[in-house]
A = this chain, B = another copy of it.
Amino acid sequence: MNFTEQLWQDIQPIYDAILNHGFVDELMTGRLPSATFQYYIQQDALYLTDFSRALNQLAARAATADDSLQFTQFAQNAILVERGLHETYFALYDIQPETAKMPACFAYTNYLLATTSLQSVAVGAAAVLPCFWIYREVGKYIYRQAIRENPYRSWIDTYAGEAFDLSVTQMLALTDRFAEAASPVEQDRMRDAFRMASRLEWYFWNDAYTRHRWLV
């Protein structure tokens, strides 16, 4: 079993909790309140800008020009996807841009920025991986299960894109390669980072579902 397969095993309970989350269920059946979807898309747009920054930091720290280019292209893509959200879904679902990160988005983005600033590239890569990988798997799941007549159909269909699939494959290969060159101590940190970011994925959906806001 290669390193990323082990990572996936580790987070099985978290992944199951995401698949069984009310947000995912109501998205597939089309019953998700539009205010909930709006919250999600708003926070996703804020998330993507910082996700791109985290990838830029990995690009700055990567040992080879090839890896640096790879992370730079991921960073560019994250912002282009963020723009796509604005140009398509903000219009389509009548969403106002939000400038304030809510708790889960705040915790997740700061974790990624702090980790990619202060930890090694290998650990940083493990931290950004769940956003690629879990998102793809959840996306495929939703795509397969969602009912045809669904107000969120247009958004669900973007998951079928092959471009994103390729990114995930590249990101998995990078992570496995980093793990091979890492010492056991560093591999443990990679596992911790992957698990933490996976947990934050769940919180991201959960905050949207509960339209969670700051208490003070």
Is the pair B75, A56 in contact by a Cβ cutoff of 8 Å?
yes
A interface residues with partner B (beta carbon < 8 Å): 13-14, 17, 49, 52-54, 56-57, 59-61, 65, 68-69, 71-73, 75-76, 79-80, 82-83, 103, 106-107, 109-111, 113-115, 117-120, 181-183, 185-186, 199, 202-203, 206, 214-216
Q: How many copies of the chain does the oligomer comprise?
A: 4
Count chain B CB atoms within 10 A of each CB in A60, A61, A82 and give the residue with the most: A60
The residues of B that contact A52 with a CB separation of less than 8 Å are 59, 65, 68-69, 72
Across the interface, A117 reaches (CB within 8 A) one of B56, B80, B117, B216, namely: B117
**A24 to B203 alpha-carbon distance, docked (Å):** 28
**A71 to B49 alpha-carbon distance, docked (Å):** 13
The residues of B that contact A73 with a CB separation of less than 8 Å are 76
**A21 to B80 alpha-carbon distance, docked (Å):** 43
Across the interface, A65 reaches (CB within 8 A) one of B49, B109, B114, B117, namely: B49
A34 to chain B, nearest CB (A): 25
The residues of B that contact A206 with a CB separation of less than 8 Å are 215
**A187 to B215 alpha-carbon distance, docked (Å):** 25
Please name the 3 residue pairs, one residue from A and one from B, whose CB atoms are nearest each other, closest first: A113-B114, A117-B117, A110-B110
The residues of B that contact A53 with a CB separation of less than 8 Å are 59-61, 68, 118
**A214 to B110 alpha-carbon distance, docked (Å):** 17
Is the pair B75, A59 in contact by a Cβ cutoff of 8 Å?
yes
Across the interface, A107 reaches (CB within 8 A) one of B82, B83, B110, B182, namely: B110
A selection of 8 A-B contacts at a CB cut-off of 8 Å is A56-B56, A56-B59, A57-B60, A60-B118, A106-B107, A110-B111, A110-B114, A203-B215
The residues of B that contact A183 with a CB separation of less than 8 Å are 181-183, 186
Question: Known contacts A65-B49, A114-B110, A117-B117; is A56 also within 8 Å of B79 by CB?
Answer: no
> 13 additional contacts, CB 8 Å, given A72-B76, A73-B76?
A14-B216, A52-B65, A52-B72, A60-B60, A60-B113, A60-B118, A61-B119, A76-B76, A106-B107, A106-B111, A181-B183, A199-B214, A203-B215
